[in-house]
Amino acid sequence: MTVVDRDEARIRRWNSQHPPIYEPGLDDILRVARDGSREFTFQNNLTKSDSSEASVPTSSSDYSTTNAQFRVTARQPNLFFTTEIAKSISEADVVLVAVNTPTKTGRGIGAGSATDMATFEAVVATVAEHARPGAIIVEKSTVPVRTAQLVHDTV
């Protein structure tokens, strides 16, 4: 999966040890997905009740509290952060559009209550320009009804 943003500072933060948002445990999950990991083992106080071989829990009733070692296999990185918008979109099978859609400000129709779609529309135009045929485009923003029709018409 490749995350694309035009904000270079934000991408630098995603690629660092200090992501731009805080969620307990997120930094460890990001590190493994972004950088990959070697095989490792860790101690846990859960082990399978009916077997001496430690494995990943399937249900809490299968386990009792004792010490167990768990082995985690090595993994390659599969999460990337970049500002290379055109390249990333052109290589994607699925493009998830997730942008800020604030309330329209200023004057005119909808000011103070309607969704400001300017950023969303600009991103969809960029996706339409660079997406390969057959790419799936998913809208993941707070958008008004019939936005999928706007995406369809733009593409």
Q: What is the pLDDT of residues 49-102, one digit of tens each?
A: 554 454 555 554 544 445 677 777 888 999 999 999 999 999 999 999 988 887
Comparing 82 with 104, the larger pLDDT belongs to 82
Mean pLDDT of the chain: 82
Tell me how far CA of residue 62 lies from CA of 12, 44, 53, 80, 131, in angstroms. 43, 15, 12, 36, 47
127 Cβ contact partners less than 8 Å away, ≥ 6 residues apart: 89, 95, 97, 137, 155
Examine the pLDDT at 8 and tell me if it is beyond 50.
yes
Per DSSP, 43 falls in state E
Mean pLDDT of 123-151: 89
Length of the chain, in residues? 155
pTM of the model: 0.67
pLDDT at 58: 52
pLDDT at 28: 86
pLDDT at 131: 95
| Range name among 6-15, 101-110, 136-145 with the lowest pLDDT average | 101-110
Q: For residue 86, what are its two tokens?
A: 């055109």
Burial state string for 32-41 with b = 16 or more CB within 10 A and e = fewer than 16: eebeeeeeee
